[in-house]
Amino acid sequence: MNVLFAASEGHPFIKTGGLGDVIGALPKALQKQGANVSVILPKYQDMNETFKSQLELKEAITVSVGWRDKYCGIEMLKLDGITYYFIDNEYYFKRSGSYGYFDDGERFSFFCKAVLEAIPYLEEQPDILHCHDWQTGMIPVLKKAHYRNHPYYEGMKVVYTIHNLRYQGVFPKTILHDLLDLSELHFNNEGVEFHGNVSFMKGGLLYADYITTVSPAYAEEIKQPYFGEYLDGVMRKREDEFVGIINGIDTELYDPASDTALPYSYHATHLLKEKNKTDLQKKLGLQVGEGIPVLALITRLVEQKGIDLFFRVLPQIMEEKVQVVVLGTGDEHYEHMLREAEARYPGRFSANIYFDDGFARQLYAASDLFLMPSQFEPCGISQLIALRYGSLPIVRETGGLKDTVLPYNQFTGEGHGFSFANYNAHEMLDTINLALDLYHHNEIAWRKLVVRAMRLNYSWEASSAKYMSLYNNLLK
């Protein structure tokens, strides 16, 4: 079985969030299940120069974007048994960053068309074309509109995965004809029309052969209006061709026993988290001392991630015996509030307004608690990494957080984290205080939770087997 992943980012080449982690890890897991997987990505300017120097030009073609013919280089690199293809066009992709440009609609219209045009030039003819998020949402539409009678594409099935329904790729109606060469027949309620505009996400949802999302709970949530982002009707319409499959993590990449970014490597039977914590405290200028729990947030500073709840009760949190370390970037007003908090709580609060993957892993290793109070969370990977590194997550019971974090039961001792149900700052505060109380007053129970968390298996093995089953059923 030949599977081609089409996505806008993928580790280790370019990553802005969880999508990049999935595209980096899932193909390798599918290879172990017996599939032959390749990946096609845009060739961004920010891609590591080491990888750029290894690229081989496989073919140069032209792709029509409206009335213009645009250059499209198909470049190739093999890494860890996976073949990666890169769509090269300097006009669209030789820019800093991946998204957020005024012409993103045109950039990813080109990418969608380029993926389909590139397929005959790839080493293997795909049986499954697996598209991810809005940036590839028009691929299923274009395939049905322009390639339905082309014998090379005839048996190819398209799977479309939602990583976050909120980001939909909505652009003016003119994009349909001017860039995608699609007729008015597609611009209606049963097509890509979305409140007078064109939705790439809706295109993927309606035209793919099968839809997945990244956790069972999120799959159920987005069928309801509150989480459905005005597409809940589409989700209900396609519920017979829709499933939630939980994300995993790359357990070789995220392994405290072999992670070279850590000052002290460790595992469940040889915990050295205190040593890692002391190293972090010295590095960040925090008060050094045993018995002080560190609460970590590694997050995009956006409303979805529950940052408002955190700031609402921050003074009450800081009344407790705890240190707080935040790592991430995002909305400017949140960044400003973090800098103010660092000034207000010297030696106890550290605001790190940037992102560095190595430092993130050091923070997972050094922290005792990991806060993730999201409004909604399709799956979430941070809480899985936190568990792997023995940092007990405090999460809101939504989406993949609900699926992956079993809350501590003080009567039975079960669980491996902490959770709260409602999007409420004081409910979150009560849960933080419960966790801190356990840390300070029941060392034996705390250590059991940490060891249990580190021994959980959130590798891609089980999830990749579900994808393989889905692919096989489609091809039948």
pLDDT digits (tens, 9 = 90+) for 211-254: 999 999 999 999 999 999 999 999 999 999 999 999 999 898 89
What pLDDT does 349 receive? 98
User: End-to-end CA distance of the chain, in Å?
Assistant: 12
Tell me whether domains 2-248+460-475 and 273-454 share a fold. Answer: yes
Rounded CA-CA distance 420/430 in Å is 9
∠ CA 113-39-384, nearest 5°, is 120
pLDDT at 366: 97
C-beta separation of 64 from 50 below 8 A: no
Close Cβ partners of 254 (under 8 Å, ≥ 6 residues apart): 361, 385, 388, 389
Q: Of 95, 59, 32, 169, whose CA–CA distance to 463 is shortest? A: 32
Q: What is the second-level CATH architecture of the domain 2-248+460-475?
A: 3-Layer(aba) Sandwich (3.40)
Query: What per-residue confidence (pLDDT) applies to 7?
Result: 98
Q: What pLDDT is recorded for position 290?
A: 76
Say what the pTM is. Answer: 0.92
Nearest one of 393, 396, 400 to 421, comparing CA atoms: 396
Domain boundaries, the chain: 2-248+460-475, 273-454
CA distance 383 to 365: 13
Q: What is the pLDDT of residue 148?
A: 87
Report yes or no: 279 and 50 within 8 Å, Cβ to Cβ: no
Rounded-to-integer distance, Cα 272 and Cα 284, Å: 19
pLDDT in the model for residue 289: 81
Predicted local distance difference test score (pLDDT) of residue 146: 94
Of the candidates 382, 330, 352, which has an alpha carbon nearest to the alpha carbon of residue 286? 352
Q: Edge-to-edge, what's the strand order for the sheet holding 2-6?
A: 56-65, 68-79, 82-88, 36-42, 2-6, 128-132, 157-162, 210-213, 242-244
Residue 418, H or E segment: strand 418-420
In whole angstroms, give the CA distance from residue 2 to residue 336: 48
Q: Is 228 left (phi over 0), alpha (psi -120 to 50) or beta?
A: alpha
Token digits for 428?
């979150």
Instruction: Take residue 18 and report the two structure tokens written for it.
Output: 């969880």
- Backbone CA torsion sign across 113, 117, 118, 124: positive
Residue 31: closest CA among 92, 95, 80: 80
Q: Write down the residue that tokens 């809101």 correspond to.
A: 396
Tokens 């790190």 locate to 352
Mean pLDDT, contiguous 10-residue spans, the chain (476 residues): 97 90 95 97 95 96 94 96 97 93 96 98 97 98 93 94 96 95 93 96 98 97 96 97 95 94 94 94 92 95 95 97 96 97 97 94 98 96 96 97 96 95 97 97 95 95 96 96
Superfamily of domain 273-454: Glycogen Phosphorylase B; (3.40.50.2000)
For residues 198 and 266, give the distance between their C-alpha atoms in angstroms, rounded to a whole number.
50
